[in-house]
């Protein structure tokens, strides 16, 4: 089961690009990388998922280097409403075989 390491917290300002990196040194060959966002008093919400290289959707981009030992979630031009906790998960292929770490608390300031 791949263990993930993320920064505990990050600060940013409105309009900036934010990059949150997750380390997962023992990722398995078949593991995907999934990111979730959680607002206070709400359940986590799926943001993006990838296996290798780059994935982009309407919300974020996910960059995964060739060795797949880390991944970077990129949020373009953040706003105050992006203030949330962001979780990186690895190894979600089997039900019950992935765990949420403590996440990264992103605070966006005006």
Partner 1 sequence: NAGVTQTPKFRVLKTGQSMTLLCAQDMNHEYMYWYRQDPGMGLRLIHYSVGEGTTAKGEVPDGYNVSRLKKQNFLLGLESAAPSQTSVYFCASSLPTGHSNQPQHFGDGTRLSIL
Minimum gap (Å) between residue 32 Cβ and partner 1: 4
Part of the chain binding partner 1 (CB under 8 A), chosen from 17-25, 55-63, 71-79, 96-104: 96-104
Part of the chain binding partner 1 (CB under 8 A), chosen from 18-26, 57-65, 72-80, 99-107: 99-107
Nearest partner of 37 among 16, 60, 54, 57, judged by Cα: 60
Interface mask toward partner 1 for 21-60; x: CB under 8 A: -----------x-x-x----xxxxxx--x-x---------
CA–CA distance, 100 with 47 (Å, rounded to integer): 14
CA–CA distance, 81 with 6 (Å, rounded to integer): 21
CA–CA distance, 47 with 33 (Å, rounded to integer): 11
> Would residue 82 be called left, alpha or beta, if left means φ above 0 and alpha means ψ between -120 and 50 degrees?
alpha
13 binds partner 1 (CB under 8 A): no
Residue numbers of the site for partner 1 (CB under 8 A)? 32, 34, 36, 41-46, 49, 51, 87, 92-96, 99-103
């Amino acid at each position: 089961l791949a263990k993930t390491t993320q920064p505990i917290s990050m600060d940013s300002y409105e309009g900036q690009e934010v990059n949150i990196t997750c380390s997962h040194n023992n990722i398995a060959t078949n593991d995907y990388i999934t990111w979730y966002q959680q607002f206070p008093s709400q359940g986590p919400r799926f943001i993006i998922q990838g296996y290798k290289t780059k994935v982009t959707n309407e919300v974020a981009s996910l960059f995964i280097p060739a060795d797949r030992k880390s991944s970077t979630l990129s949020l373009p031009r953040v706003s105050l409403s992006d203030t949330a906790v962001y979780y990186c998960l690895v190894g979600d292929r089997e039900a019950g075989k992935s765990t949420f770490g403590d996440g990264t608390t992103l605070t966006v300031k005006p």
